Amino acid sequence: MLVLLGFAMIAVFMALIMTKKLTPVLALIIVPTVFGLFAGAGLGIGDMVMDSMKSMTSTAALLMFAIVYFGLMIDVGLFDPLVKFILRKLGNDPAKVVLGTAILAAAVSLDGDGSTTFILTTAAMLPVYLRLKMSPVVLTCVAGLANGTMNILPWGGPTARAATALKIDVNDVFVPMVPSLIAGLLVVFAFAWVLGLQERNRLRATAPEIWGELADLDDAFDGGTGTRADGGTSRGGAGARPSGGGTSGNGGVAVLERTELLVDDHDTAMADTALDPNRPTLRPKLFWFNLGLTAAVMVMLVLDLVPLPYVFMVGSAIALLVNFPKVKDQGAQLIAHAPSIVAVVSMVMAAAVLTGVLNGTGMVKEMSSWLVQIIPTELGPFMGVITGLLSIPMTFFMSNDAFYFGVLPVLSETAAHYGVGAADMARASITGQPFHMQSPLVPAILLLVSLSKVELGDHHKKVLWRSAVVSVVMLGAGMLTGAIGIG
């Protein structure tokens, strides 16, 4: 009964948020409450949720003050030069912009912290997407894919958990998986490029007044007037002229030059965006101070000398005090970022209801045991492959701790009877991380969709099948290289 209720609860939750019948916060509260009562939790459901929520408070504090800090840095102009540099390098081609987003997210993911990755990626790229009228869902998709793939780094968490649970060296788990990591990243970049091409075509069709519809490519390449689909002609101004009179290596697609508009510092260049050059919160004289402070915060994140929430608390306090000495301005800054804070923290707290019910009622334990029991004996030698496939949905529906410390040891013990080593099992178990990182139980992904003002259901529609493909490719690469063996 608990197994059926557990899977039904997850299915109903996903259906409600993907069809937008309920917001994620309401779904996280209402659905587990109903199923928990059916599971016999009774009045004890409150204690289950409170116990789960205690473990969430530090995460909520981290996200709250991280939003304050990086939101403040955006306001004062710390990321303006970075965004302008990106624009100059990527131009206005959506395919390059999306690929650049994936590369940036993967690079920043080297610090092992998803929240930091998503804050920096959205800070740098979201203004670009909005200015070019690109879909922010594409941003969340490629950023989530890149970060999820990089999450198998030893300091990212899952690899260390797998190694600890099976009592093996973390390097023995990670190093043989480097080819799988590379293969996964290549798939992510391929997805990013295809998504970018789709955005390019969509924008050409839906926003011809900005991007132009060049039906007659020959005329466009010759610098002439292209005939538009509506029978008019493409404008020859800065907002809609073909670049360089040629394909410029874009496979016969003329890319329109708007870079000078986007990086120009005139009032109209970034007006009404996060990079508005005339916003009153700019502090150009404090640029180097803010850069140094941010570098110090990043160093503290990597060194992990003190709890991360405290690092952002102190960083936010210093940044507010120096950039906005007046109490009135400090209060205004906190109020300005309140919507993002409420959206993220409320989802983190609401997620405690889901995790509390799953753990408190015993659903997670029963679901795990059931999955282990239904594996046929003849498939024993393939336990590594099975574990890799199971890690895709199971790490989505439960925390990494629950999977790596509760489920993986049982699977590994079973696999040992068929000659499949613990290291092989550990490596297979981390291939589901690209899919795991899209779970509503992962606070970082809630932060990403909140900062990008994207519905979680819309994000899932675009990212889930792609992240599953990346996980399967990583599993396949591990098998081909021998990192994941067969008994």
Alpha carbon distance 102, 190 (integer Å): 10
**Entry field: residues in the chain:** 487
CB within 8 Å of 287: residues ≥ 6 apart: 77, 78
pLDDT 10s digits, 230-253 = 334 333 333 333 333 333 333 333
Instruction: Indicate the burial class of 60 (C-beta count within 10 angstroms; 0-12, 13-18, 19 or more).
Output: buried
Measured over the CA atoms of residue 428, residue 304, residue 293 and residue 61, the dihedral's sign is positive
Alpha carbon distance 257, 379 (integer Å): 57
Alpha carbon distance 137, 334 (integer Å): 27
Is residue 467 within 8 Å of residue 402, measured between CB atoms?
no
pLDDT 10s digits, 424-457 = 999 999 999 999 999 887 888 888 888 888 888 8
Is residue 186 within 8 Å of residue 443, measured between CB atoms?
no
Alpha carbon distance 209, 372 (integer Å): 58
CB within 8 Å of 107: residues ≥ 6 apart: none
How do the pLDDT tens digits run along the chain, 487 residues long? 788 888 788 788 778 876 778 877 888 889 889 998 888 888 888 888 898 888 777 777 877 887 788 778 878 888 777 767 766 777 778 888 999 999 888 887 876 677 778 877 887 788 888 878 889 999 999 999 999 999 888 766 788 778 877 878 877 888 899 999 999 999 999 999 999 999 988 888 876 655 543 333 333 333 433 333 333 433 333 333 333 333 333 333 333 333 333 434 333 334 445 556 777 888 889 999 999 998 898 788 767 788 878 888 999 999 999 999 999 999 988 888 887 778 777 877 887 888 788 778 888 777 767 766 777 777 778 888 999 998 998 888 777 777 786 678 778 877 887 788 889 999 999 999 999 999 887 888 888 888 888 888 899 999 999 999 999 999 999 999 988 887 6
Alpha carbon distance 185, 427 (integer Å): 17
Alpha carbon distance 426, 395 (integer Å): 14
Three-state DSSP state, 413: helix
What's the number of CA atoms in the CB half-sphere (13 Å) around residue 296? 14
